[in-house]
Amino acid sequence: MKCSISRRVIDEAEDPASLPYAAVSHLEGCASCRQFADERGRLRKLLLEPVRVSAPANFEAMVARRLSQRAVQRRPFWFGGGFYVTAGAAATALACMILAVQLSRSGRLAPMPTSTGAVVAESQPLTTTPKTNEVVIGPVSSGPGRLRNYIPRKPVYRPHPEKTGDVAGVATPVATMGGITDIAAQPRALLLVRNSGSERQILVPMVSVGAQPWLSVSFPAGEERGVRTSF
Amino acid sequence: MATVTHQAQAIGLGSTSVEAATDHELLAAIRDGDDAAFQEIMRRYRNPIINFVYRMLDDYERSVDLAQETFIRIYTSAARYKANYNFSTYIYRIASNLAISELRQRKRRKLVPLLSGFTDEHGDAVEMDLADGAPLQDESLIGDERRQAVARAIGSLPVKYRVAVVLRDIEGKSYDDIARVLQLSEGTVKSRINRARNLLKDKLGAYI
């Protein structure tokens, strides 16, 4: 083993008392490396000589006091820079929402393509003998004005060829919303619109979940009701 | 004691008292707001941390101050603590960063230039950090010229060498731990310790 390697091994040893065999055998035959090892050992002892200091008796109390002082001195939230960033972001979001609502009301906002436009609903009156089996879908006079842009005007729907008669038994009730009396649907988007005097079944092949496209259903008695078709 | 054990059970340490809990368990308890766990952490590490900072600064009052700041940071950042390695490494890293910052601030406050413009055989700048002639805080206990000389020699080392050699030769940390504390490679740590010892050997030649 070379002297440089031996000295590096001595210097970097985790435990100077247990050197590798190669280094120990080198030390036995090398006076300068032995002197180096002795110097390193004496230096280590010398560095450990200074007495170790202890923490003052009130150390924990001082830490606790500083912690409490720090809590008291903590600046209010609105003094921090983060507050202004948050407030600015919130104000921007609010302004965007107001602008979007205003654009929507004035009709300048293009309607989002939803399944409403592609809805081909076929209705089948569930009452025994309806006077007419047409369901007129168009603007709802009592509904929210902003929804008018989404609704095709007065398409005429024919009765479903397979679903004739009373199919109320296969429909699954869903929660009603707004002033709608009752809504029922099955997985194939079969809507059951029930009025006080009569019922209508509407088959909706395409359903936009969450978009709540608005349908207007006319009943034989001439009454017209709004229906949200989302599930 | 019974109160402490009761609190330990309340914070999820089970039947383990805070004295028997590991450092990581205590940190988790501190995160849940347990003061007994924080007291235990302070009891375990207050003296090692004060000694470490004291060897770095050679100023007892400031060492106590920085050790307190270390524990305050442990307490306030307990929620962000990740048990990836020893808690000892974590707390020594905080303390060493505070001590290094303090030494840098002291250097800025001095009016004399600190860098001599010379470099050692390895190309590193050699700092002319004059030894502090002020008496040590524990001079009455030391009362020994040799110990003062050791303290002055350590204090005259460049900061990057000083922190490494104090952690190794005084605190007895392993090279791996020192590398984690200082966030350096193990080879760099060994190199710095070697250079620090060579400098100390030159300064303390009369005592070796």
Contacts of B194 in chain A (CB under 8 A): 8, 11-12
Q: Which residue of B has its CA nearest to A66?
A: B72
A43/B169 touch (CB, cutoff 8 Å), yes or no: yes
How high is the pLDDT of residue B131?
Answer: 59
pLDDT surpasses 50 at B198: yes
Q: Do B63 and A53 touch (CB under 8 A)?
A: yes
Cβ contacts (< 8 Å) between A55 and chain B: which residues? 46-47, 50, 64, 67
User: Measured between beta carbons, which residues in chain A are less than 8 angstroms from residue B51?
Assistant: 52-53
Of A93-102, B47-56, B106-115, the range with the lowest mean pLDDT is B106-115
Which residue does chain A place closest to B150, by CA atoms? A47
pLDDT over 70 at A32, yes or no: yes
Residues of A in contact with B64 (CB under 8 A): 55-56, 59, 62
* pLDDT given for residue B9 in this prediction: 45
Cβ contact (<8 Å) for A43 and B60?
A: no
Q: What is the mean pLDDT of residues B172-198?
A: 93
Residue A208: the pLDDT is 45
| Residue in A closest to B138 by C-alpha | A53
pLDDT at A227: 67
B132-143 pLDDT per residue, tens: 656 555 555 555
Q: What is the mean pLDDT of residues A43-48?
A: 87
B147 → chain A, closest CA residue: A50
Tell me what pLDDT residue A13 has: 83
Q: State the DSSP string of chain B.
A: -HHHHHHHHHTT-TT--TTTS-HHHHHHHHHTT-HHHHHHHHHHHHHHHHHHHHHHHS-HHHHHHHHHHHHHHHHHTGGG--TTS-HHHHHHHHHHHHHHHHHHHHHHH-SS-SEEEEE-TTSPEEE--PPP-SPPTTHHHH--HHHHHHHHHHHHS-HHHHHHHIIIIIS---HHHHHHHHT--HHHHHHHHHHHHHHHHHHTGGG-
Contact A184, A87 (CB under 8 A): no
State yes or no: pLDDT of B202 exceeds 50: yes
Instruction: Name which of A15-29, A63-77, A98-112, B72-86 the model is least confident about.
Output: A98-112
Distance (Å) from the alpha carbon of A55 to chain B's nearest alpha carbon: 6
| Torsions phi, psi for B158 (to 5 deg) | -55, 150
> What pLDDT is stored for residue B117 in this prediction?
55
B169 contacts A47? CB cut-off 8 A: yes
Position B124 scores a pLDDT of 62
**Residue ranges of chain A whose CB lies within 8 Å of a chain B CB:** 8, 11-12, 14, 39-40, 42-44, 46-56, 59-60, 62-63, 66-67, 70
Is residue B195 predicted with pLDDT exceeding 50? yes
Q: What is the 3-state secondary structure (H, E, C) of A93-143?
A: HHHHHHHHHHHHHCCCCCCCCCCCCCCCCEEEECCCCCCCCCEECCCCCCC
pLDDT in tens, A158-214: 444 454 444 333 334 444 444 444 444 444 556 666 766 677 666 665 444 454 556
pLDDT for B194 equals 93
| pLDDT value at B189 more than 90 | yes
The predicted structure's pLDDT at residue A18: 79
pLDDT digit string, tens, across residues B1-30: 334 444 444 455 555 677 788 888 888 888
Contacts of A48 in chain B (CB under 8 A): 169-170
| pLDDT over 90, % of chain B | 40
Per-residue pLDDT at A122 exceeds 60: no
| pLDDT above 70 coverage of chain A, percent | 39
Are the beta carbons of B137 and A51 separated by less than 8 Å? no
Poorest-confidence range of A9-18, A42-51, A52-61, A132-141? A132-141
Name which of A34-43, A50-59, A78-87, B121-130 the model is least confident about: B121-130
In B82-121, the residues whose Cβ lies within 8 Å of chain A are none
For residues A88-107, give the mean pLDDT: 83
Give the mutation candidate from A12, A45, A66 for the B interface (greatest B CB count, under 10 A): A12
The better pLDDT of the pair A115, A57 is held by A57
Does residue A156 register a pLDDT over 60? Answer: no
CB contact under 8 A, B54 and A53: yes
Residues from chain A contacting residue B200 (CB–CB below 8 Å): 43, 47
Which chain B residues touch A56 with a CB distance below 8 Å? Answer: 64
